[in-house]
A and B are shown apart, each in its own frame.
Chain A
Amino acid sequence: MDNNELKAMWQDVHSACHEYDRINMEEVKVLKHSKIISKIISDQKLKILLYSIFLAIYCGLMAYAFIYLGLRLSVYSILPLSVAGLFILIKLTSEIYRYIALTKTADNKSISESLQFFQVELNKVKKIDFLSGLFFYSSFAIGTIWVYLKDIGGIKNLPNSANSLPFLTVLILMLLFIPWIIKYQHNQRYRKLYESFSESSDFFKEES
């Protein structure tokens, strides 16, 4: 088979091309996306909505307790509450970045520019996930060390407290390790995508 035969074969197999006559132009003009794409985007929106509701409930409860009821708590009691709020905020930010990566388009750009554009967006998601995880779990680890050193709640006087130090060390190491697990999870989740990026990046390299 030579080049001309290849083109002839292409023309030949498309001589009786199947056309999708059911496409309605009126629909095309009013719809934001087709059914299947809308489903993916609305799933992502739902996640954002869910975390927004959690955050709103959290803020509402905090405002009610601290502003309306005038509750005064010690720093040690506020810390776990702040951690919970921070966690919801981080999850919300991460889901928003995922939504942006799904919906941002570079339709009028060339294929190579569009590829780079999407790669940048996905790397942003990866960076946000990793950095927020690093910040959150490092703060958690520092907080735990602080609680231990200050002996808050008489932790050092608990029964079997002699065993608490190795346990605490393992806990701290695990907390510090979590951001790298998040990074690994991201790479696994988007493995096919990164493989296709790498394939395409190799493809767009100049050859002579």
Chain B
Amino acid sequence: MEKEFVDLINRYRGILHKICNIYFYRSPFIEDYYQEILIRLWKSYSTFKNQSAVSTWIYRVALNTAIDIVRMQRIRPKLIELSKNEYNIPVIEPDLESDRKDKLYRAINTMSDAEKAIIILYLEDYEYKEIAEIMGISESNTGVKINRIKLQLIKILGYGQQ
């Protein structure tokens, strides 16, 4: 079971990092949050009984955990004041190469938690049906939401490029 889980995580590692970056971009505690997602995935792995696709399950748990952490920060804002040295995590300094990434993440960061979740699934080329299942909304509603968010994002990025 452990080996299966590790293989699974290795397969979906990229997307887990992207979820972390979306919700905790430039946070000095990003590795810690990533670890929390892995812990929650491991805990719920035993209850995962293939009722849905593995990717759907991973997305659900990872997104729910990320949103939970954001909520915790809203409940206990003091946590972001914890010492960086305590965690020995270096602060990533921006460079010119990360400018586009920065712009994209800043644009996504203007959105609500739910909008962030839907846009990451869209950008990762997931089908509307699966996005609807993860989000818990209808397929037609998913389409409407995605179109609206896309336009919003393009508009922000468009302004940013001028």
Contacts and interface: CB of A to CB of B under 8 A. Distances in A.
Contacts of A7: 123, 125
A192 interface: yes
Contacts of A3: 150, 154
| 3 A-B pairs closest in CB distance | A110-B136, A112-B136, A13-B101
Nearest to B138: A206
A207 B117 CA distance: 18
B144 A208 contact: yes
Given A39-B79, A107-B40, A193 B67 contact: no
Interface of A: 1-3, 6-7, 9-10, 12-14, 17-20, 22-23, 25, 27-29, 31-37, 39-40, 43, 101-102, 105-115, 118, 190, 192-193, 196, 199-200, 203-204, 206-208
Given A18-B17, A23-B38, A36 B87 contact: yes
Contacts, number: 170
Nearest to B144: A207
Given A23-B31, A35-B32, A114-B67, 8 more contacts: A31-B35, A35-B35, A37-B32, A112-B135, A115-B114, A199-B112, A199-B113, A203-B114
B23 interface: no
A207 B147 CA distance: 12
B140 interface: yes
B55 to A, nearest CB: 14
Contacts of B92: 18
18 contacts: A14-B18, A20-B17, A20-B34, A23-B35, A23-B38, A31-B35, A34-B39, A36-B33, A36-B79, A39-B79, A105-B65, A106-B64, A107-B61, A109-B64, A111-B136, A115-B67, A192-B74, A207-B145
A34 B33 contact: yes
B71 A118 contact: yes
Given A1-B157, A13-B101, A203-B115, A25 B141 contact: no
Residue with the highest number of chain A CB atoms closer than 10 Å, among B113, B114, B150: B114
Contacts of A199: 112-114
B145 A29 contact: no
Interface residues of B, number: 72
Contact of A34 (B2, B36, B47, B135): B36
Interface in B49-71: 57, 60-61, 63-65, 67-71
A106 B67 CA distance: 11
Contacts of B114: 111-112, 115, 199-200, 203-204
Contacts of A43: 76
Contacts of B138: 206
B66 to A, nearest CB: 10
Contacts of A206: 137-138, 141
A203 B145 contact: yes
A107 B58 CA distance: 10
A109 B76 CA distance: 24
B61 A108 contact: yes
A196 B113 contact: yes
A9 B144 CA distance: 22
Interface string B115-156: 101000001110000000111111011001100101001100
Nearest to A21: B31
